[in-house]
Structure 1
């Protein structure tokens, strides 16, 4: 028996690849397995090769695998593009309709199943995805009733007749391949899962859920890959709590609406990707100048311009920190797991109101859209902190305006909601005095700039870095961000077998940068590898800027071809640095 395997399905976009993956992985989740998925899809509605890869394990996993056990192919292109990932003696389940062939040099067993023909016999070729999924499920020898339950959940809204037809399609696919293979294949027999209930979700859904838990009740947004799922989740969810989502005409409107809602006292967020964030920059500056809280999500993708809208990248970091004209306080946080996406979103709203500034949550496409197992969320950890939001304002005998931007010891001024008695004040995007009236006084300008920027000196964020440092004097410190954490840890396990001692730090607070927290781990390491999905080593540049004495020991490991890192890539890069020792 084995404790993990990888399964992939490929075909043309729009022919059921995603629904097949969804049902297959849902059934595995019901059995209690840990799952980690990756979607490779084209930037078009229909057509173009797409594939979904699921890694299945009896233990927690946070990375896609280097190799593949089972490939389900709806066309020859899926075989040609993906078959070389197969382990020796891997299996291809392919539609007999296109006369599938195994590429030269690939040692795989081919099962040509009349997938389309079986579906057409049952009434429609649309059910070919159910035939294919039934065939591959049968090879694992897992309980069919669990799979059928997942089918029922997927198609139940369409009525019992549709459910029954799809279950027949699953059974027909399963029976055909079992007859060909002589029963389930022993090489794919998985050890039993722990049976514990687990969440199975994408990072975008976790962000949406976190927003609801944080008290967010308004989301203005414009659809864009890979952020749209946040909007789609909240469209369904917010109305249940008295909230709403508005699809705006563009990202400029989305950001200014979110700022206006927060000014009015309603917690609001917007979400986009790199192109949309570029359009929001002027509005983000407005939030900084007016000290209005706002939460913005940037789901990074391949750039620049339209770039690679459906592919992995981590190249917006410096833009999020330095993109606005002029200088404002802002907080940029980078979750690295689905669970962190939830908790960090709650914290982002609290930080925005506590420090009265924009807070940007930066994810990447793999974390945003890669579906994965997650532990049950602890809603007792959700605490709402609205900062210096004052309820009662004393009348001023001289009739002066409320000092919304009052100079205080910590730089954080009292904040009121519009219409509050005795709280009237000016709000403007130009420089202003304590009551909000425009002011061009050099003395006032310097004091206001210092007041705003000094807030960053006191920012406290939960776990600005995540540390796994078992070695007092490691040979190598590996640093990453976002979705790279689990991949780095797998590479470290292999490096340990080579007697290379490694520590691992995931940077979660991008701005203000946690230099002092990172310093001791940088100082102890002989060498440092910074792993990131961009071409210009943006995370490494932040480290060098804030800890310049460490620059000479930093080695960059960059990947910017649109795909996430594989464990073997990080292992090989790091091992190559120590060849001289062997």
Structure 2
């Protein structure tokens, strides 16, 4: 029976292409009309530690959140199998490298101690030996899980011999094995995979060809499993779908909303938003040409103060940060509140306190956003629930800030920042830009005129 949705975990060492695997699958699934959300969990290092993607694919809607357990776990290494022992659903599928079947939990030096203890306790309680093979047999017996072993070494050797690939480069193709295996289980056609690979590796046609050959090898090996977890035919009517992160949609919303100055000091998970805006610093709208100034400042104090200065000069301005950076910005935000300067602070929450856990999520900073600052002053805090809301909220934050001349804090979190989601293109015709009351200045101009609820503001440099 076809399913409404399917949960998937893709796991492997950080730097091994787990995120690329997710992008290839997401694009192929979106091409066939499925809704997708995918979150990446990773450590603060470049390579080696366990990294994984948690996905949900739906034929009836665009998912807004994820769920456990999942129907498919596609593993690049033994650590993924041990770490996610509790995450596979009854009757689910695990795709793994048969070459790691004898691997013992004690041999995995990269695993966190807390995870190792949790898994060992579970294995001991159930009388299961600490090898991959024993764990898979336990899951087959306990939850009717289908463990599908692929000989990664043989598949890569065939590819190497066909294309004369250097041995040192073969590890780059492991991600192609798990992409192919998941695609076969879901019944995805090769044309959807080819389309996605052609975008992912647009300037490297040889990589596309090699991955398609690898898909053929995996499909041959899993012929009896094709379409094992079939999805219903997509039922929504979106003619187009965008594949975006939360950082992407906030950047897009700011650009559409008239952003002209953005400051930032690099911090996870906020920095990617500024990187996205930097790609579109030069704008063309019909016959007009404009630009956005994006500046990486020396610290967060400079970031908030420079954004305030840009606002005083008349630019729609914002700064972006996470918890530790926001703490440093508080005095500047207080000054903006006291002087009625419209400013937007995009605040991506992460694990705390202090430096905390840069790559882990949190939603614990609401009170910090609402109350931080000495004395009382008006501010508005906006929280976005998903990627679509984040786009429109990014625009509305500017409108509120300038209409009421207050700091606006746009509160998001690491999950929303880093998760990938398919969404329909936004309705740009519904977007309205509201700049509030603006004065041309003059000798009689009073910045704080008590005759108004919100007195008109004049820009610095106006006589």
Normalising by the residue count of structure 2, what TM-score does the alignment of the two structures yield?
0.84
Assess, with a 3 A threshold, how the Cα gap between structure 1 residues 409 and 367 changes in structure 2: closer, same or farther. same
Contact 2:10 2:18 in 1 (8 A): yes
Q: Is 1:147 matched with 2:147?
A: no
1:185 deviation in Å?
4.1
Q: Which residue of 2 aligns with 1:568?
A: none
Q: Which residue of 2 aligns with 1:160?
A: 205
Moved more, 374-383 or 17-26: 374-383
Q: Deviations over 1:123-177 (max 9, x none)?
A: 23211111221122112222111111101100012x3223222222233223222
Q: Is 1:42 matched with 2:83?
A: no
CA distance in structure 2 between the aligned counterparts of 1:114 and 1:274, rounded to whole angstroms? 45
Assess, with a 3 A threshold, how the Cα gap between structure 1 residues 352 and 338 changes in structure 2: closer, same or farther. same
| Structure 1 counterpart of 2:281, from 223, 238, 248 | 238
Assess, with a 3 A threshold, how the Cα gap between structure 1 residues 282 and 116 changes in structure 2: closer, same or farther. farther
Contact 1:138 1:177 in 2 (8 A): yes
Contact 2:22 2:38 in 1 (8 A): no
Q: Deviations over 1:330-353 (max 9, x none)?
A: 111101121110111101001111
The residue correspondences of 1:443-462 to structure 2 (distance < 5 A) are: none
Q: Which residue of 2 aligns with 1:27?
A: 28
Q: Which residue of 2 aligns with 1:193?
A: 234
- State the SS of the aligned residue for 1:249: coil
Q: Deviations over 1:449-503 (max 9, x none)?
A: xxxxxxxxxxxxxxxxxxxxxxxxxxxxxxxxxxxxxxxxxxxxxxxxxxxxxxx
Assess, with a 3 A threshold, how the Cα gap between structure 1 residues 105 and 351 changes in structure 2: closer, same or farther. same
CA distance in structure 2 between the aligned counterparts of 1:249 and 1:116, rounded to whole angstroms? 48
- State the SS of the aligned residue for 1:360: strand
Contact 1:252 1:279 in 2 (8 A): yes
Q: Is 1:337 matched with 2:380?
A: no
Contact 2:10 2:53 in 1 (8 A): yes
Q: Is 1:173 matched with 2:226?
A: no
The residue correspondences of 1:100-499 to structure 2 (distance < 5 A) are: 100-101=132-133, 103=135, 105-107=138-140, 108-120=145-157, 121-122=159-160, 123=165, 124-157=170-203, 159-178=204-223, 182-186=224-228, 188-194=229-235, 196=238, 197-240=240-283, 241-391=290-440, 393-396=441-444, 402-410=445-453, 412-421=454-463
- State the SS of the aligned residue for 1:156: coil
Structure 2: give runs of 5+ residues left out of the alignment: 102-131, 284-289
1:190 deviation in Å?
1.1
Q: Which residue of 2 aligns with 1:434?
A: none
CA distance in structure 2 between the aligned counterparts of 1:10 and 1:304, rounded to whole angstroms? 28
Contact 1:117 1:125 in 2 (8 A): no
1:297 deviation in Å?
0.7
Q: Deviations over 1:508-529 (max 9, x none)?
A: xxxxxxxxxxxxxxxxxxxxxx
| Structure 2 counterpart of 1:94, from 93, 96, 100 | 96
Normalising by the residue count of structure 1, what TM-score does the alignment of the two structures yield?
0.68
Number of equivalences: 409
Contact 2:362 2:413 in 1 (8 A): yes
1:183 deviation in Å?
4.3
RCO comparison, higher one (Cα < 8 Å, 6+): 2
CA distance in structure 2 between the aligned counterparts of 1:71 and 1:126, rounded to whole angstroms? 20
Q: Deviations over 1:260-302 (max 9, x none)?
A: 1111111121111101100111111111122111101111111
Moved more, 120-129 or 75-84: 120-129
CA distance in structure 2 between the aligned counterparts of 1:172 and 1:250, rounded to whole angstroms? 51
CA distance in structure 1 between the aligned counterparts of 2:452 and 2:292, rounded to whole angstroms? 36
Structure 1: give runs of 5+ residues left out of the alignment: 397-401, 422-582
Q: Which runs of 4 or more aligned residues in structure 1 lie more than 4 Å from their structure 2 counterparts after TM superposition?
A: none
Aligned-CA RMSD value: 1.7
Q: Which residue of 2 aligns with 1:71?
A: 73
Q: Deviations over 1:346-370 (max 9, x none)?
A: 0100111111111000012222222
- State the SS of the aligned residue for 1:308: coil
